[in-house]
Structure 1
């Protein structure tokens, strides 16, 4: 929920073989061959209000508007195919009005190369659910707001978004990949430590890699050096925590706790079920007891202190 899946060739994501799978308010960008896949047998999947944006490495054709490719893998277990069931609603595929209007009009696909005309009607009738499967309570962002809301808030944004996340978010927003013009001479395609010699090319890279070596210019990298490396952060003075309980003295004093009592980290000052250190980590109120069984109270408490979703 509310994740950004950017610059992955496939498995955006890969679904297991059973149970309920929820994929809600996500952005998927610049995939190569697979968005979501798997989800066979007794899997029940909810795909709701996600945003799919093909990137420079996303092929034309069916892959470019693929929401999920359901698999059966049952040819050795059963004499028939057994795909999972899917509820798909409100998913936007940028550049494809037909699939955006009706997600089952090509967006839901199956892994069977012998079906050039799409999913047979009898198979689709078994796969398609017209109602969402049971899922945990969550506030679902309207489909036309998913892209902007998720990009604005995704990642570690409090107190500020770091330069790595800034680069990725900007790439998704513009569709343009950033990369360095001149790679380092040593391991320009990554340090493939532990890779068997028979699988190494002359330059030390993976010999059987499917993508071109210059895929980093189109968003998919093999080493962080191709996009300038990680930022170097300065050391900062740690906060004062006299009793070593994980909560700063300043916060404890402001919230009526004892900065000299390490045991109060595991106590619950309001009786709402969350320990004091959990209240500190998640920005939960220490002044009043909150009924967390009331779904209206379950929201992103940290986002309220930064950018509100």
Structure 2
């Protein structure tokens, strides 16, 4: 996923501006295809943005990459089976909150177990100016688990935060390290030892049930072992030589979905939707909408700020107006 800026056209030169006010949560970023040594998880960032309770699994790099200045909030995520990069990016104007995440090296990580990247939590980047190559931003890094490295789990700054290709921040530690988190959007921060079980139980599309792909990915994280098919096809690019071995799928890094069983074929019976507005007739009739008027999908029948089709998707009762801006009303409305 790449979500850290947008192009704004106000009649003159297009401006590349940061994303603002977004939350990415409960999502799976896994098994990016590595045909071009580019199996990257995500480039994310922006202003007033939160990334929490996500799973990054079996991507060689960008787990995740910080693509914009300002405060980067990375809280209660699970990162598994990276190769050469976990969190990196940003610049001297970046402020990192890296709090209570769980890092679990996997089979492909072990190929580089003698290199700093095998136990890296964060690698902040300096200013992009050859005249000021050691001007960094600030980082609050605390409460993160690095499996297999108890000394880093105990003190994240004891080898978990690195600059350049060094084992630590060395002489730059005092300039980079912050002892209090930077201001960030409100989020309930889980205790670190709860992160792995919570994320594995809740991440992704779980209702009514996970599909075969997500189920398999979750199992690889749980066991620490790659799952692949016998006699899987070796798929390579004719244009670029990969950094990894052709059979890297045996360690979780794939070049073709067939190496891990392929993609499932979804089957089902569609509900009756006479006006093709995305809402079933019986739901519209139940709540007093017109099953023959496609325009009512984008209407808001009770003035709560959500369109009718959003109410249907999220199982919101459109006969009851709720103030969703009040955090006390934030609850799971789905009952599948």
Q: Given the two structures, how large is their TM-score scaled by the length of structure 1?
A: 0.84
Q: What is the CA RMSD across the aligned residues, in angstroms? A: 2.0
Tell me what 1:96 maps to: 149
Are 1:50 and 2:101 matched, yes or no? yes
1:33 pairs, out of 77, 81, 84, with: 84
Unaligned stretches of 5+ in structure 2?
A: 1-51
Q: CA deviation at 1:299?
A: 4.5
Tell me what 2:243 maps to: 210
Would the aligned equivalents of 2:127 and 2:133 in 1 still touch at CA under 8 Å?
Answer: no
Deviates more, 1:276-285 or 1:155-164: 276-285
CA 1:276–1:167 in 2, change beyond 3 Å: closer, same or farther?
same
Separation in 2 of the partners of 1:298 and 1:281? 16
Tell me what 2:122 maps to: 68
Structure 1 stretches of at least 4 aligned residues deviating more than 4 Å after TM superposition: none
Q: Given the two structures, how large is their TM-score scaled by the length of structure 2?
A: 0.78
Would the aligned equivalents of 2:151 and 2:158 in 1 still touch at CA under 8 Å?
Answer: yes
Q: CA deviation at 1:68?
A: 0.9
Would the aligned equivalents of 1:16 and 1:40 in 2 still touch at CA under 8 Å?
Answer: no
Separation in 2 of the partners of 1:126 and 1:97? 25
* 1:230-262 CA-partner distances (Å, limit 9, x unpaired): 12333x321111222221112223333232333
Unaligned stretches of 5+ in structure 1?
A: 200-205
Would the aligned equivalents of 1:110 and 1:119 in 2 still touch at CA under 8 Å?
Answer: yes
Say how many residue pairs are matched.
282
CA 1:79–1:135 in 2, change beyond 3 Å: closer, same or farther?
closer
CA 1:13–1:300 in 2, change beyond 3 Å: closer, same or farther?
farther
Q: CA deviation at 1:273?
A: 1.0
Larger radius of gyration: 1
CA 1:246–1:42 in 2, change beyond 3 Å: closer, same or farther?
same
Tell me what 2:40 maps to: none
CA 1:232–1:37 in 2, change beyond 3 Å: closer, same or farther?
same
Are 1:11 and 2:30 matched, yes or no? no
Separation in 2 of the partners of 1:26 and 1:286? 34
2:169 pairs, out of 106, 119, 137, with: 119
